[in-house]
Amino acid sequence: MTDPSPQSPQAPKLLDQVRDRLRLKHYSIRTETQYVQWVRRFILFHGKRHPGNMGATEVEAFLTHLAVEGRVAAATQNQALSALLFLYREVLKVDLPWLDKVVRAKTPRRLPVVLTRQEVTAVLDGMSAVHGLMARLLYGTGMRLMECVRLRVKDVDVGRAEIVVRDGKGAKDRITMLPQTLIAPLQAHLQTRRALYEADNLQGKAGVYLPDALDRKYPNAASEWAWQYIFPSGSYSVDPRSGVERRHHIDEKLLQRAVKRAVQASGVAKLATPHTFRHSFATHLLQSGYDIRTVQELLGHADVATTMIYTHVLNKGGRGVVSPLDAI
């Protein structure tokens, strides 16, 4: 009796190929989730046809459906397009002329929502504990929501009153200030955080996610105090990539909800979110007379033109223009 011939290994499914390629190119887990979702929706929209058998007509039909039937924002439509371009160029290795001719939706340029100093005070007075500390850090440093959520112990230098923002937008690091008024509350929070870390260590679950395969280069670093998230989750969770159960950082939605409740309780009639603190930080610095290049550096903007939008939010404009009505 002869042995059966060995079966050829099955080719990975398309969505798995997309995931593998995204991880090879060091895309974030959030981008991976969104791109895979858009590819799946694209395939389902066209009756489960393989993308290799489709082209510009099908891509444009899907994007039109999102805009007309789904009424999605321009940014959402462009994200779907980016996911499909990644699929064709990076996974299917299709580089056809129509890829460059697919028109992106025009994103409207809107002025950011900005709180006055009095409104900031009213909102922050309604927040306490961890969420209150995080909200004050957002306003006091100009950090983005996820930059604050992902802060690690090693990124805060109390002696120099500095915070190093790691891997910000565009994969860039930058330095911002640590407000003097937050040093004592932050140190008190870190004492509590240290106790939680010690408890996790006793259970063998003190490890955290490390970027760029640092866990292989430094096997013990993931369990060191310096790498711990300052604002941890209240429970353990399973890493979707490694399958390891450990404590991740706090869910940003919890802070978003806390800010929303505080805004409603304060009576401030603005649609403020955690990102509004960043807008307010920049605007108030410009109002105080700080140079726009300094503000650009603190915010981590690649182009000063992005920072210039805050001069349009100032009541008197960038040149201190006074309304002629006020001169009567």
Choosing from 131, 246, 279, 301, the catalytic residue is: 301
> Catalytic annotation on 144?
yes
Rounded to whole angstroms, the maximal C-alpha distance in the chain is: 107
Residue among 21, 248, 261, 275 flagged as catalytic: 275
* 88 is annotated as an active-site residue: no
Residue 278 is among the residues annotated as catalytic for this protein: yes
Determine which one of 154, 166, 169, 261 is catalytic: 169
Beta strands in 166-223 (DSSP E): 174-177
Q: 224: which 2 tokens?
A: 């060191």
The beta strands (E) that lie in the chain are given as 156-157, 162-165, 174-177, 232-238, 245-249
- Choosing from 35, 139, 197, 310, the catalytic residue is 310
Q: Is 40 a catalytic site residue?
A: no
Cα–Cα distance between 247 and 232 in angstroms, integer? 7
Phi, psi at 176, each rounded to 5°: -130, 170
Residues 189, 197: Cα–Cα separation, whole Å:
12
Instruction: Give the angle 30-32-34 at the CA atoms, nearest 5°.
Output: 70
Among 131, 136, 144, 247, the active-site one is: 144
Q: Measure the CA–CA gap between 95 and 88, rounded to whole angstroms.
A: 7
299 contacts 278 by C-beta, under 8 angstroms:
yes
Catalytic (active site) residue 310: yes
Residue 229 half-sphere exposure, CB side, CA atoms within 13 Å? 23
HEC string for 274-301: HHHHHHHHHHHHHHCCCCHHHHHHHHCC
DSSP 120: H
Contact 59/102 with Cβ under 8 angstroms? Answer: yes
Q: For residue 112, what are the contacts with CB-CB under 8 A and spacing of at least 6? A: 276, 279, 309, 310, 313
Question: What residues pair up with 237 in beta bridges, in sequence order?
Answer: 246
List 152, 278, 279, 284, catalytic entry: 278
Catalytic residues: 144, 169, 275, 278, 301, 310
